[in-house]
Structure 1
Amino acid sequence: MSLTFEFASPAPVPTPAPDRVTLFVDVILPLPLPKLYTYRVPYELNDNVVIGGRVIVQFGAKRTLSCIVAAVHETPPKEYQAKYILEFIDDAPVVTQPQLKLFRWMAEYYMCTLGEVINAALPSALKLSSESRIQLHPVFVAEGSPYPLDDKEQRIVDALGGEDGKALTFTEVGDLLEVASFHKVIKSLMQKDVIFLFEQMADKYTPKVVKKVRLAEHFVTMAAVEQLFDTLASKPKQVDVLLKYLQRVPVHHNEHLNQQGIEKAALTSSPHLSPSAVNTLIKNGILEQFDQIVSRFPLEENPLAQMPFQLSEAQTTARDEVMTLFGQKNIVLLHGVTGSGKTEIYIDLIRNALDGGGQVLYLLPEIALTAQIVTRLMRVFGSRLGVYHSKFSDNERVEVWNGVLSGRFQVVVGVRSAVFLPFDSLSLLIVDEEHESSYKQYDPAPRYNAREVALMIGNFQGAKVLLGSATPAVETFYMARQGRYGLVSLSKRFGEAGMPEIELIDTRKLRADKKMHNHFSSDLLSAMESKIAQQEQVILFQNRRGYAPVIACQDCGYIPKCQSCAVSLSYHKHAHELRCHYCGYHEGMPTQCPACGSRALRTQGFGTEKLEDDLKIMLPQANVQRMDLDTTRAKNAYQQIIGDFEQQKTNVLVGTQMVTKGLDFENVSLVGIVNADAIIHYPDYRAHERAYQMFVQVSGRAGRKGKKGKVLIQTGDPTQVIFDKVIRNDYLEFYAYEIEQRREHEYPPFTRMIKLTVKHMDQELAQKAAILLTQELVDRLGRSVVLGPEPPYIFRIRNFFLQEIVIKLSREHTVLKQAKLDICAAMDIVRDQKEFRQARLVADVDPM
């Protein structure tokens, strides 16, 4: 859809008939605006208004935007004169009433605007965008201009070209002229009738179109086909094409099959057929070519769909307990050890929900998991299954969105953004690996946690929510222990598999004895060699990507730092460059020290890339692959890496957190945690919880199908308390210790936390703004609940200096609601100060 608006003088508005109603709509603009805007509906379009539909409006002097209709009424705004809606895009809602209710709750709870929620929720292909553009005036193209053009004007004319209708956005004009102020140049060109200005609005969503061919209608009968073969007897290549077509489309059995035809590519790409013969048949009117809109997710049933599925006795018992508890509570926690078969229970529950006519949302923390899970779910649910995550193209995401609206997809498996999909009859939500921090959105707003949003969706739609994890979040397990959630436990692994054997390796002692090989102990290396010789596989976990986190000069101590962030640059050997993992800045690897000129530059520390390189040298017989952010940027990279490992093309998989999250490989018998200490010693009250979860989760990848796995953990301090709990797989003891620490220091679940971050490019102004904000908060909330301000561990990111304030609040709903109002009032006071106008104030509710 392409709409063009030229802003000339508005046409006079006809006087309405006395019986006609004047309608107004409140719209949600995809902008961080505190209030909704009201627009007037043209009388002739009164019947077109749809709550949840998209409309195009003018916002500001020249800008046009698409937005969502949130309400329809007859009350004009008092503060301004309502503009008319320019265009209606949809005749049916693209956002449902349950979604609008959820979006309002998210905006209130996470202290952001409805526009920010809508901006995050809608696939970008559903959000229409506009920007002022310029194009050569037809008069100038035909006749030229009697007025002379200066250098800047001529550069614009040259860039616009001739008669091909090329247009430039204002941004492109600024880049072309390399100046910030260029509007006078544009105004001059308009006065000379060289260019004209317009707003172009383009609907980004485009359906997938395939070229198809079919027999011309008068050749469909059997007699006509026989005559056609006689006519083409001397043209064997064209006969081959026709035979192939009739093989795929047997019109002699059913003439109606011809109407659908086949994809042209099925003929032109065949190695045994001539593309030119296909085109000749089309040219001669024997074949007809036509376009057809098709789905990016074909509806053909998977041949494995509805395959039989059998739960074990333990799984059946757990399933029955979940169903019983769902009769009493809306939320149930399924606490099952790694490898206990939780996924099979999920599938059985999904099937029951679908049999009852409901929809199901199955959330996963990482895209990496979807490849394996989708395969398993597709075998059961076939074409009723939709998949939704950020690696999909805009058009693919729109198709899933529309598929949920239409009821085509009854089950959706997706990552955190899937909570925004337009469900209206959910009966079951599953949050797998519910403890994962990946469910939390950090930037931009809304800074939501998909687990908490799923709980609220369940509340709004009367759906049941199942939370699953081998290492539940402390807050979740506390709720289950308090009776707020139901609790079901699976304490044994599925089948004959036992829990892995876990050993600690004291790297400090081994370094003193000179028994470390780079970053590998001799025990870990020999264990890997043994497993590879036995045709078994190994996973190595190192929670840092890149080759080395630091490059340092051995003579003067210089360390390259990011220009925009207060961090050192990490070395990436494959790209031969230094990168910032916070802002993306990168530069080439220097050959000598920029400070003293020395060539004694050495790497310090190690990441996944260095482990991969070292292993290829130390274990030349092994096929080593790496899975981290750098190797999984491409759309299908996850599937490729996981597929190679599943098919045992890879012996050793080195990875970051991605390898800890729910992946199921039958042939993995050894897991190595290369540097456990870096995970434990982190300045955060959740550090021990996260370390325990990571260690247990990655250990759970070892040993399946009757094989007892082994886990080797390298640490410089094996006496730490957390290791004993990991070795004994004793979550209850870990929880008992952790909950007492939380209670003593008043951390969640005993309080709610809100973190406020003040950002400014001037360090002194950032500190002054934070101090003022703290004073305002203390006046409203009291000193005891306001902590800070203080700079975070990384105090400068993307040229902004940071100051943080943490607020601890009672869990009572009324206290939290009033506190948020007080916080917003305090933030507004700081924003209103002239010297802090450039400061950014960010609220993060329930930070992780």
Structure 2
Amino acid sequence: MYADVILPVPIPKWFTYRVEAEFQEQIGIGYRVMVPFGNRKILTGIVAKVHPKAPEIYQAKAILDVLDDFPVVNALQIKFWNWMAGYYCCHIGEVMNAALPSGLKLSTESRVHLHPNFDPEAPGFPMDGRELLVLETLAKHDEMRVEQFEQILPGKTIHKIIKSLLSKGAVLLYESVKEKYSPKTEHRIRLAKKFLTEENQLQDLFLELKGKQKQEQVLLQYLQLIPVFQKPELNDAGLLKNVLTDAGCSQSSIDTLIKKEVLESFRVTISRFEEQTVGNDSITLSPLQQEAVQEIHGQFEDKNTLLLHGITGSGKTEIYIELIKEVLDSGSQVLLLLPEIALTTHLVFRLQKVFGNKMGVYHSKYSDNERVEVWQGVLKGRFNFVIGVRSSLFLPFDSLGLVIIDEEHEPSYKQFDPAPRFQARDAAIMLAWMHQAKTILGSATPAFESFFNAQNGKYGYVKLDKRYGNAELPHFHLADILKDKKKNLLKLDFTRILREKIQDALNRQEQVLIFQNRRGYAPYISCEDCGWIPQCEHCDVSLTYHQYQEELRCHYCGFKEKPPKACPACGSHKLTTVGVGTERIEENLSLLFPEARIARMDLDTTRSKYGYQRILEDFGAGNVDILVGTQMITKGLDFDRVSLVGVVDADRILYFPDFRSGERAFQQITQVAGRAGRREKTGDVVIQTRRPDQLIFSQIMSGNYTDFYQQEIRERKQFYYPPFIKNIKVTTKHKDYKTAENASLHLKNLVTTIEAKKIVLGPEKSLIGKIKNLYLFEIWIKLEKSVSVQEYFKKELMEKIMELQAEKKFRSVRFLVDVDPF
């Protein structure tokens, strides 16, 4: 018997291994196995296929061990991984690496042991004293970890010695594997079973303990809490040790009773998640929402995917809840995708009230062990409904009935690094198709690709154009930054109208959201005399100034340094900050409104697991008057008292060198504006800009998405941009500028020979030409949308890349393929 195994390595093919007789009964698709790879490595792989055919090209090695009693991955997942590897031009091992939570992978540590065939008497390999010492030590211990040798050989020479011994065939180096996942346990105690057979035995025990008051107290306290004769099953479950100590019992007396075998100490495995019971929180749909649900059912009769185009505050969440209930009642599973971890914390509480312990939550801020428990919860049927971010696509679903992608337009659904560089929205549609499930794409400002498919009849389409209840859309105000600056009305980056509106909201004890899509204090600092700007040592970008930490930081590689006291170029002390980040806005607001309680929400303040949640809880409880934030605050937030939203610099989003910049500006400003006045009271939105005459602002203010879409889509068609073509970007990376450029030029020449309807642009130096000491060049390919053309082209492209990498001069070049780049 043989098994094809998927290994976590960037190699295109599966590897076939021999299944020894001892494992033949316990192996199948989806089991984790330990296998040898190369001469020294041991890897953990997933069995993709079991069959009787031996490989023709090489001698199959034997599987070393089977790690599971039941499969942790199902056949549908492997099919999905295969599709993702093909569509996004990567290897299935890279998909497997992204799919499995770290806790299901094995950690490795290098170990050294004597080579069984090594003859120390053989001539030709003289050993020095240090090498002989290593061999003598190994002869006594059989095997040792690399770091253990540092105790007998101080200094940093051990790796050189082991390398020398490897070359002489004296030792073998291999990876010792350890399970990462460990279940959570708690320490419990119970009364030994021998005292439960007859009451006399318990009486004899009390006589024996007479005079030992502390031990008597422990026993009496236990019997008071656990009526062992009336309910013996409670004794089986036992008590947490700390329950007795909290009740005043002595820890040493408890330990003494355990030694005397009066009490038994034992551990039980428990869930890392609090058990939730299904709440009584019922959802009442408005007539418009009920109508939308009926319309969705009607569209699903002949369409598998549907776009729910509902304006901000129209009550899409209630519609989701109604549809989720229906699918769960039918016995199928549901996946609700959200673009960011940030959103999950806000929605989890709301959905748990309805679905209780049927619902699992899955995102990267959870620990490895927590994610494994959700994975196993889906496998065992504990969680039939999962709410999560893009990584939750990889969970072991076996009967999906509905996939919902909320805020489907969000760029954060795109995985940038590492491979697979997938678009979670598109991958979710494919996953649903494989399960024969339905898909709902929800958004107030749909992605052009989704709206295009809905307009062409490929997707169903349902529109909600009224806010839930009596809520009205906010009033918009355009604030001209340049006009206020000329009249000397611009103070600390805030126009007069925005300052007045903030003061009015504070006077009415209402809350304010301020949006600026740039974290840090200022984009950069500059010398007023010579124009010097501090640059990152490893990337082609200026360093962002963070005042709170008093440092200059690169947002690409993490490099940081203290700001200089004087200009290194000319010695001037006239160093000034240029531009505005969230940190600076927070400071300016505290100067303008000293009485206001201000908080900031960006990547710097939400790094911890519950950072986002704490800020939102404070804001929801009314402990914060003004919340400053990046795109994190543009979506999903629903607070009654927010009456004003301010957009500090709309031009920064609009004038960005990207064909999607107009679409992004419309989406972000509309989304953040939707946070204002979400109940009976009408809110205000102030947009600060230097170009108030731009047509896009009047379209945002009127909420006219269709007009904006039609204007933009004409340009997309004229200049060959999505959704009319398929975009593929290939980036070459290398530490040497010329090597990176030459690799890109060679690849461009090879790509142009592929027979397909395409436009090849570049190679050009990337917008940021160097990141982490690697130079970047890009080739952009505009490809015909035909499925067969795409499949053929991608296959040929990967072959051309492998052809280039086989050349010695390009062996160290990294080629990154990004399908549907954002």
Pairwise same-fold verdict (TM > 0.5) = yes
Residue 32 of structure 1: which of 10, 14, 25 is its match?
Answer: 10
Does the aligned pair in 2 maintain the 1:50–1:91 contact within 8 Å?
Answer: no
TM-score relative to the length of structure 1: 0.90
Taking a change above 3 Å as real, the CA distance of residues 25 and 282 of structure 1, as seen in their structure-2 partners, is same
Query: Secondary structure of 2:146's partner?
Result: strand
Question: Which residue of structure 2 aligns with residue 132 of structure 1?
Answer: 110
Question: Which residue of structure 2 aligns with residue 13 of structure 1?
Answer: none
Question: Which residue of structure 2 aligns with residue 296 of structure 1?
Answer: 272
Does the aligned pair in 1 maintain the 2:758–2:784 contact within 8 Å?
Answer: no
Residue 705 (structure 2) pairs with residue 731 (structure 1): yes
Please give the residue correspondences for 1:60-75 in structure 2 after superposition, counting only pairs within 5 Å: 60-75=38-53
Taking a change above 3 Å as real, the CA distance of residues 559 and 830 of structure 1, as seen in their structure-2 partners, is same
Question: Which residue of structure 1 aligns with residue 239 of structure 2?
Answer: 262
Q: Which runs of 5+ in 1 are unaligned?
A: 1-22, 138-146
Residue 676 of structure 2: which of 702, 712, 719 is its match?
Answer: 702
Please give the residue correspondences for 1:88-107 in structure 2 after superposition, counting only pairs within 5 Å: 88-107=66-85
Residue 822 (structure 2) pairs with residue 843 (structure 1): no
Question: Which residue of structure 1 aligns with residue 95 of structure 2?
Answer: 117
Does the aligned pair in 1 maintain the 2:649–2:689 contact within 8 Å?
Answer: yes
Please give the residue correspondences for 1:270-309 in structure 2 after superposition, counting only pairs within 5 Å: 270=246, 274-298=250-274, 300-302=275-277, 305-309=279-283
Residue 387 of structure 2: which of 396, 403, 413 is its match?
Answer: 413
Deviations 1:423-465 (A, max 9, x none): 0100010000000111110111111111111111111110011
Query: Secondary structure of 1:395's partner?
Result: helix
Taking a change above 3 Å as real, the CA distance of residues 375 and 230 of structure 1, as seen in their structure-2 partners, is farther
CA distance in 1, matches of 2:229, 2:678: 54
Residue 460 (structure 2) pairs with residue 486 (structure 1): yes
CA distance in 1, matches of 2:808, 2:172: 39
1:646, distance to aligned residue in structure 2 (A): 1.2
TM-score relative to the length of structure 2: 0.93
Does the aligned pair in 2 maintain the 1:53–1:89 contact within 8 Å?
Answer: yes
CA distance in 2, matches of 1:223, 1:731: 82
CA distance in 2, matches of 1:308, 1:790: 57
CA distance in 2, matches of 1:824, 1:513: 59
Residue 315 (structure 2) pairs with residue 346 (structure 1): no
Taking a change above 3 Å as real, the CA distance of residues 566 and 494 of structure 1, as seen in their structure-2 partners, is same
Equivalent position amino acid for 2:182 in 1: T
1:48, distance to aligned residue in structure 2 (A): 2.2
Question: Which residue of structure 2 aligns with residue 630 of structure 1?
Answer: 604
Query: Secondary structure of 1:467's partner?
Result: strand
Equivalent position amino acid for 2:3 in 1: V
CA distance in 2, matches of 1:171, 1:754: 49
Does the aligned pair in 2 maintain the 1:135–1:168 contact within 8 Å?
Answer: no
CA distance in 2, matches of 1:803, 1:170: 44
Does the aligned pair in 2 maintain the 1:32–1:115 contact within 8 Å?
Answer: yes
Residue 730 (structure 2) pairs with residue 756 (structure 1): yes
CA distance in 1, matches of 2:460, 2:79: 26
Question: Which residue of structure 2 aligns with residue 645 of structure 1?
Answer: 619
CA distance in 2, matches of 1:292, 1:26: 37
Query: Secondary structure of 2:599's partner?
Result: strand
CA distance in 2, matches of 1:271, 1:546: 50
1:596, distance to aligned residue in structure 2 (A): 2.7
Does the aligned pair in 1 maintain the 2:134–2:149 contact within 8 Å?
Answer: no
CA distance in 2, matches of 1:785, 1:377: 47
Deviations 1:587-622 (A, max 9, x none): 222222222333222211121111122223332222
Question: Which residue of structure 1 aligns with residue 428 of structure 2?
Answer: 454
Equivalent position amino acid for 1:818 in 2: Y
1:243, distance to aligned residue in structure 2 (A): 5.8
Q: Equivalent pairs: percent with the same residue?
A: 48
Does the aligned pair in 1 maintain the 2:539–2:556 contact within 8 Å?
Answer: yes
Query: Secondary structure of 1:520's partner?
Result: coil
Residue 800 (structure 2) pairs with residue 822 (structure 1): no
Query: Secondary structure of 2:761's partner?
Result: strand
Question: Which residue of structure 1 aligns with residue 451 of structure 2?
Answer: 477
CA distance in 2, matches of 1:329, 1:95: 29
1:92, distance to aligned residue in structure 2 (A): 1.8
Q: Which runs of 5+ in 2 are unaligned?
A: 116-125
1:135, distance to aligned residue in structure 2 (A): 8.3
CA distance in 2, matches of 1:26, 1:175: 44
Does the aligned pair in 1 maintain the 2:40–2:173 contact within 8 Å?
Answer: no
Residue 555 of structure 2: which of 577, 581, 605 is its match?
Answer: 581
Equivalent position amino acid for 2:43 in 1: L
Taking a change above 3 Å as real, the CA distance of residues 339 and 181 of structure 1, as seen in their structure-2 partners, is same
Residue 181 (structure 2) pairs with residue 214 (structure 1): no
Taking a change above 3 Å as real, the CA distance of residues 717 and 227 of structure 1, as seen in their structure-2 partners, is farther
Question: Which residue of structure 1 aligns with residue 226 of structure 2?
Answer: 249
Deviations 1:533-557 (A, max 9, x none): 3221111111011111111122222
CA distance in 2, matches of 1:762, 1:657: 36
Residue 367 (structure 2) pairs with residue 393 (structure 1): yes
Question: Which residue of structure 2 aligns with residue 6 of structure 1?
Answer: none
Residue 614 (structure 2) pairs with residue 614 (structure 1): no
Greater displacement, 519-528 / 577-586: 519-528
Question: Which residue of structure 1 aligns with residue 123 of structure 2?
Answer: none
Greater displacement, 595-604 / 743-752: 595-604
CA distance in 2, matches of 1:501, 1:172: 70
Question: Which residue of structure 2 aligns with residue 363 of structure 1?
Answer: 337
Deviations 1:22-47 (A, max 9, x none): x1111100010011111111133222
CA distance in 2, matches of 1:318, 1:383: 28
Query: Secondary structure of 2:355's partner?
Result: helix
Taking a change above 3 Å as real, the CA distance of residues 414 and 148 of structure 1, as seen in their structure-2 partners, is same
Does the aligned pair in 1 maintain the 2:601–2:615 contact within 8 Å?
Answer: yes
1:190, distance to aligned residue in structure 2 (A): 10
Greater displacement, 732-741 / 127-136: 127-136
Taking a change above 3 Å as real, the CA distance of residues 43 and 282 of structure 1, as seen in their structure-2 partners, is closer
Please give the residue correspondences for 1:497-646 in structure 2 after superposition, counting only pairs within 5 Å: 497-646=471-620
Residue 57 of structure 1: which of 22, 27, 35 is its match?
Answer: 35
Query: Secondary structure of 1:816's partner?
Result: helix
Deviations 1:259-292 (A, max 9, x none): 0012223333x37555445444434544322111
CA distance in 2, matches of 1:175, 1:526: 69
Deviations 1:611-634 (A, max 9, x none): 122223332222211111111111
CA distance in 2, matches of 1:148, 1:824: 47
Deviations 1:341-375 (A, max 9, x none): 10111011000001100000010001011112111
Does the aligned pair in 2 maintain the 1:306–1:381 contact within 8 Å?
Answer: no
Question: Which residue of structure 1 aligns with residue 120 of structure 2?
Answer: none
Figure out how many residues of one structure are paired with residues of the other and give that number. 809
Residue 162 (structure 2) pairs with residue 183 (structure 1): yes
Equivalent position amino acid for 1:485 in 2: Y
CA distance in 2, matches of 1:762, 1:726: 46
